[in-house]
Amino acid sequence: MLSDGTMTQEQMDQSKKVAQAQLEEAYVKSKDLKYKAEDWVTDEWAEIMNIDQKEATISGIELDRVRQVGEAITKLPTDSNFHRLIVKIFKAREQSITSGQGIDWGTAEALAMASLIQDGFKIRISGQDVERGTFSHRHAHIFY
């Protein structure tokens, strides 16, 4: 901006000063904010949830099925050469399911989605975690 003459150094400095003041003001205000879950519910969400509900619905699958689904989601095709970190993630996933200990969030998500798919539910996954993104342990598409 300085190099093409869009702003002078003085304008740039003033713009930075205003932005910093706004951020500082918001930070100070954030210290005193108190929210309740109800504050975040839009009309659309209110239609599909019951804020007064006190008990969570019990859901889950039998341990044998967890292991069966887990075996399916931890196998990479043997005819491909996958990146070493992907192989490491899948081996760790397999070990955690086999031992029943250390199941991470991504593995739990994969188990849940796989069991829902087996039960005939359609699942739509969106965002960069589906195919290419920061969190390889959450990918639904694995490259080799």
Q: What is the pLDDT of residues 71-84, one digit of tens each?
A: 999 998 888 888 88
pLDDT confidence bin for 138, thresholds 50/70/90: low
Which structure tokens are listed for 86?
Answer: 């992907």
Q: What percent of the chain has pLDDT over 70?
A: 78
CB of 73 within 8 A of CB of 119?
no
Q: What is the pLDDT of residue 51?
A: 55
Q: What is the pLDDT of residue 112?
A: 92
Which structure tokens are listed for 92?
Answer: 């760790």
Least trusted range by pLDDT, from 29-43, 90-104, 123-137? 123-137
Q: What percent of the chain has pLDDT over 90?
A: 39
CB of 45 within 8 A of CB of 109?
no
Higher-confidence residue of 73 and 33: namely 73
Residue 46 has pLDDT above 60, yes or no: yes
Q: What is the pLDDT of residues 85-125, one digit of tens each?
A: 888 888 999 999 999 999 988 889 889 989 999 999 888 87
Q: What is the pLDDT of residue 26?
A: 92
CA distances for 72 relative to 23, 32, 57, 60, angstroms: 48, 48, 27, 18
What is the average pLDDT value for the chain, to the nearest integer?
83
CB atoms within 10 A of CB 93: 21
Q: What is the pLDDT of residue 43?
A: 78
Q: What is the pLDDT of residue 5?
A: 83
